[in-house]
Amino acid sequence: MTTPLQSPGQLLANLPGILGFYPHESVIFVAFHQGASPHRFTLGPVLRIDLDDLALLREVGTTLTDTDCDLVFAFVITRRDRGHVEQVVDRLFEAAENGEVDIQACWLTRNILTGEPYRIAFGPEPVEDPDGADRTGRSAWGAGEIAPVSQAQAMTPLLEHGQLPELTRREAFDHFVRFNPHLSVDDADQLEGFAHRHAADLVAVIRGERRPHGPRSGPQGSAPWGILRGLIDDHALLLDELAEEKRHSGEITGLLMADEETLAGVAVLLSDSLLRDAVLVDALRRPDAAADLFLAVARTFGGEIRANALSYYALAAVRMRLSMRAIPALAAALQEMPGHSLSSLVLQSCRAGAFEEVLSAAARGSHIVRSRYARLDDEGNGADDSDNAPDDSASEAFSVEGDQTVVRGDAA
C-alpha cells in the first residue's frame, strides 16, 4: 500500500481486499517491515488462521520470522461469547510473551463492516514521537470504528476489474472447484486423454524426435519451429479476441466452458510444459482474457491440465494485481497435485510478496522456450525462417523440464 494507514480501523477495512474474502471467526496477523523512518512501516505478509486453530501459532511465528518482519499486529474477528474471546486473547498474549509470535498489539472486532467498533485487547502504552504526537493514542489505537470498507485501498484492484471480495473464505475457494455444467466428467476425461496424446505427438515433432506429417503441419510450415509458432499465434489470437469481448469476466468464463473446441485446444497446450511455457508470454500480455480462459479450463479438466490452468490463472491474477485470487487457485492446484512444481513455486513467491520477481522469472522462462523451439525473440519476431530443427546441443537448463529450474532460481 502507498497511502499511509493511521489506525487499526483502516487496517481492518483493508483486510477483505487483501484476503479476497471477508474473514469470520479468524485471527489475522498483519506484518510490517521497517521503513526509512522509525515511525513508518510497509505492509508485509498477512496470515489468517481459524479461531479454533491456535495450535498453528508456532508455525505462524516461524513464517513471520522467516520473512524478517519488524512489526506484527493481530486482529481477532469473532462473534463468540466473552469467555471464549478471553481464552483466545490469553493464548495470543502467551504466544507474544514466550516468543512464539512476536505480536506487538492485538485488537478485537465482531465483523469487518463499515462502522463496526473495535477495541484493543493488549498492546503497548501510548508513546510520544519526537513531534509530540501520540503514536498509539487511545482515541484511534485503543478503540474506534472500522473505516469504510468499500473505500479501502486494497479494494481498488478488485473494483477495477469489476469484482468484490467473496463473503466467506469457502466461497473464495469454491470459485476454483472443478465443475462444468456443459460437460460430464466422463466427457471431459475423454477430451483430456485426447489432449495428452495430441500434445505428446506435437512435442515429439517440435523437439525433433519425430518427423511432422499430415495435420501436424502448422500454418507456419512443417518445420518443428513452424508448428510451435503456429500454436503460439493461434493462442495469441484467441486471447486478443477474448480481450475485445464487451462482457463481464464471469460471463466469458461461462461461455468458454460451453465451447468444447476451445477447451480442447487449450488443454493440449497445458498438457506438456514445453507447450505450456511457450504461450505464457501472451497470457501475461492479456491477463484479463487469460484468467477467464484458464479458469474455464481448470473447471473442466483434472490432473496436470487443471493444475497448469490454475497456475496460469494465478499468474494472470498477479499480473492484474489480484494476488488475493491467486492464493486459493494455487492451493486448489496443490490439493489435487501436491507435487506440481509450478504451482508450488508460484505459491511460495506469492506468500513472500515476490510478485514482480515471479512474473519476471516466468516470462524469461517462456522467452527461453520460444527462442529455442519457435525461433522467436523477446518481441515475438522470427529469428530464423530456415527449415532446420532446433539445435539440441543447447543447455538442458532450457529444456522442457529445465525451464522450471529457471523460474525456481529467479524466484528464490
Write the DSSP string, 291-323. HHHHHHHHHH--HHHHHHHHHHHHHHHHHTT-H
Q: What is the pLDDT of residue 214?
A: 52
| CA nearest neighbour of 300 among 190, 381, 157 | 190
* Domain-located, residue 369: yes
Q: Is the pLDDT of residue 182 over 60?
A: yes
Q: The domain that contains 50 carries what CATH number?
A: 3.40.140
* Domain-located, residue 351: yes
CA 86 and chain centroid, separation = 35
DSSP 37: S
Instruction: Assess whether 309 and 401 both reside in one domain.
Output: yes
Q: What is the pLDDT of residue 380?
A: 64
| Residues forming beta bridges with residue 50, ordered by sequence position | 26
* Domain-located, residue 159: no
User: Domain range spanning residue 144?
Assistant: 8-154
pLDDT tens readout for residues 31-73:
998 877 777 788 888 999 999 999 999 999 998 888 888 899 9
pLDDT tens readout for residues 89-134:
999 999 999 999 999 999 999 999 999 999 999 998 655 444 444 4
Q: Sign of the C-alpha dihedral, residues 327, 328, 329, 334? A: positive
Domain boundary among 121, 154, 187: 154
Instruction: Assess whether 116 and 213 both reside in one domain.
Output: no
Q: Is the pLDDT of residue 407 over 70?
A: no
Instruction: Assess whether 391 and 276 both reside in one domain.
Output: yes
Q: What is the pLDDT of residue 361?
A: 93
| Residues forming beta bridges with residue 107, ordered by sequence position | 75, 120
Q: What is the pLDDT of residue 43?
A: 86
Q: Is the pLDDT of residue 338 over 90?
A: yes
C-alpha cell at 406: 529457471
Stretch 147-156: mean pLDDT? 93
* Domain-located, residue 163: no
Instruction: Assess whether 268 and 405 both reside in one domain.
Output: yes
Q: Is the pLDDT of residue 314 over 70?
A: yes
End-to-end alpha carbon distance in the chain: 23
Q: Is the pLDDT of residue 304 over 90?
A: yes
C-alpha cell at 86: 478471553
| CA nearest neighbour of 9 among 174, 138, 110, 140 | 140
* Domain-located, residue 60: yes
Which has the higher per-residue pLDDT, 375 or 168? 168
Q: What is the pLDDT of residue 354?
A: 86
3-state secondary structure of 285: helix
Instruction: Assess whether 127 and 257 both reside in one domain.
Output: no
Altogether, the residues listed in the chain come to a count of 412
Instruction: Assess whether 227 and 79 both reside in one domain.
Output: no
Contacts of 382 (CB under 8 A, 6+ apart): 229, 375, 376
Which has the higher per-residue pLDDT, 373 or 77? 77
d(CA 361, CA 359): 6
Amino acid at 88: V
* Domain-located, residue 110: yes
- Report the half-sphere exposure of 176 (CA within 13 A, side-chain side): 28
CA 205 and chain centroid, separation = 33
Instruction: Assess whether 277 and 314 both reside in one domain.
Output: yes
| Residues forming beta bridges with residue 122, ordered by sequence position | 106
3-state secondary structure of 334: helix
- Range scoring the smallest mean pLDDT among 174-178, 337-341, 355-359, 406-410: 406-410
d(CA 302, CA 308): 10
* Domain-located, residue 41: yes
Over pLDDT 70: what percentage of the chain? 83
C-alpha cell at 132: 509530540
3-state secondary structure of 27: strand
Give 179-182 contacts, CB < 8 A, sequence gap 24+.
179/299, 180/257, 180/296, 180/299, 180/300, 181/257, 182/257, 182/258, 182/260
* C-alpha angle 276-282-284 in degrees, rounded to nearest 5: 95
Instruction: Assess whether 140 and 202 both reside in one domain.
Output: no
**Mean pLDDT (the chain, rounded):** 84
pLDDT tens readout for residues 185-233:
999 999 999 999 999 999 999 988 776 655 444 444 457 788 999 999 9
pLDDT tens readout for residues 238-294:
999 999 987 777 789 999 999 999 999 999 999 999 999 999 999 999 999 999 999
d(CA 86, CA 90): 6
* Domain-located, residue 293: yes
Rg of the chain taking only CA atoms, in angstroms = 24
Instruction: Assess whether 188 and 313 both reside in one domain.
Output: yes
Instruction: Assess whether 139 and 220 both reside in one domain.
Output: no
Residue 320: which pLDDT band, with cuts at 50, 70 and 90? Answer: very high
Q: What is the pLDDT of residue 399?
A: 27
Instruction: Assess whether 317 and 233 both reside in one domain.
Output: yes
| Residues forming beta bridges with residue 74, ordered by sequence position | 29, 106
- The domain total for the chain is 2
Instruction: Assess whether 381 and 243 both reside in one domain.
Output: yes
